[in-house]
Amino acid sequence: MTSPIQKEIDQNFEAFEKLVPELIKNHRGQFVVMRKEEPIEFFDTIRDAMIFADTKFDDGLFSIQEINQKPIDLGWFSHAPVQSTV
Amino acid sequence: MPLYKAPFDPDKGPYIDVFISKPLSIYNEDEAENSKVRLSMLIDTGASKTGISPAKAQEIGLNPTGKQKVQSVTGQAKTNLYCGDLMLEQFTPCFYIPDMSLMQFEATTAWRDGILGRDFLSRLVFEMNGFDRTFTLTI
């Protein structure tokens, strides 16, 4: 069963993927705090984003996304799981 | 310059023990210290990002903070990201990387807890000597 935190992260990521072409114009490389599929605030470091979100949202239902479109590269000999195909 | 030298098995690659804890920027010192877990990590120059197994993330007490796409030979997938502090206690004082973004990485082999990618390697000097089967980290 999906936890509420995981559900929030999954839903926010779906929303983030739609928003990223627009967000990247003015916020490339920044970190956005998202809640209920909406961008809330932008920060230069993940530390500042985490401190903000942890203070503001007691229920822990938020996510932080770095604003870039580069996927993680695992090289040729990958053992990464495929959780869900894109 | 502080240096750590260790042997490696050519069949498995260079491994190093690291400690990862909840980020000290969020949690108090006691809570971060108590969450510290030792992981055996493969130094992987092919990976752009450091990753840990979901079991170890749970042991540390890290919740996912977000997600990112992952590109591998098997295709593109999405994986959870965590944020934690990474420590190499082989150095005195300890080599410490705060607030490191860590991807969820489910290894298919039991002898690894995660991988140290190029985001980690960009913080120090890494050398491998294939003749005497040793590797060196210099900070």
Determine whether the interchain pair B76/A86 forms a contact, defined as Cβ–Cβ distance below 8 Å: yes
- The first and second tokens of residue A18, run together, are 């739609």
- In angstroms, the Cα distances linking A11 to A23, A36, A42, B1, B67 are 17, 8, 19, 46, 10
Q: What is the CA radius of gyration of chain A?
A: 14
Cross-strand partners of A43: A31
Ordered by start, the domain boundaries in chain B are 15-124
In this prediction, residue A74 carries a pLDDT of: 80
Please identify every stretch of chain A with a pLDDT value under 50, giving residue numbers as ranges.
none
Query: Which residue, among A72, A76, A79, A83, would best test binding to B if mutated, counting the most B CBs under 10 Å from its CB?
Result: A72
Average pLDDT over residues B129-135: 96
- The first and second tokens of residue B47, run together, are 């990976």
pLDDT band at B56 (very low <50, low <70, confident <90, very high): very high
Q: Which residue of A has its CA nearest to B75?
A: A85
Given a cut of 70, is residue B31 above it in pLDDT? yes
Chain B interface includes A1 (CB < 8 A)? no
Of B26, B75, B106, Cβ closest to residue A85: B75
- Please give the order of strands across the beta sheet that includes A38-43: A38-43, A31-35, A63-66
Three state DSSP letters for chain A: CCCHHHHHHHHHHHHHHHHHHHHHHHHCCCEEEEECCEEEEEECCHHHHHHHHHHHCCCCCCEEEECCCCCEECCCCCCCCCCCEC
Residue-wise pLDDT for B64-116, tens only, equals 999 999 887 777 889 999 999 999 999 999 999 999 999 998 766 666 899 99
In chain B, which residues have their Cβ closer than 8 Å to the Cβ of A79? 105-109
In this prediction, residue B5 carries a pLDDT of: 96
In chain A, which residues have their Cβ closer than 8 Å to the Cβ of B69? 71-72, 86
Cross-strand partners of B9: B13
pLDDT band at B10 (very low <50, low <70, confident <90, very high): very high
B100: left (phi over 0), alpha (psi -120 to 50) or beta: beta
Residue-wise pLDDT for A5-14, tens only, equals 999 999 999 9
Distance between CA B72 and CA B90 in Å, rounded? 31
Q: Which residue of B has its CA nearest to A14?
A: B67
Of A45, A63, A71, Cβ closest to residue B76: A71
Of A10, A60, A74, Cβ closest to residue B72: A74
Interface of A with B in 33-62 (CB under 8 A): 45-47, 50-51, 54, 60
* Fold adopted by B15-124: Cathepsin D, subunit A; domain 1 (2.40.70)
Chain-wide mean pLDDT for chain B? 90
- The first and second tokens of residue B34, run together, are 């108590």
Distance between CA A21 and CA A32 in Å, rounded? 14
Chain B interface includes A23 (CB < 8 A)? no
pTM of the model: 0.88
Pairing, β A38-43 against β B95-104: unpaired
In this prediction, residue A71 carries a pLDDT of: 83
pLDDT band at B53 (very low <50, low <70, confident <90, very high): very high
In this prediction, residue A81 carries a pLDDT of: 55
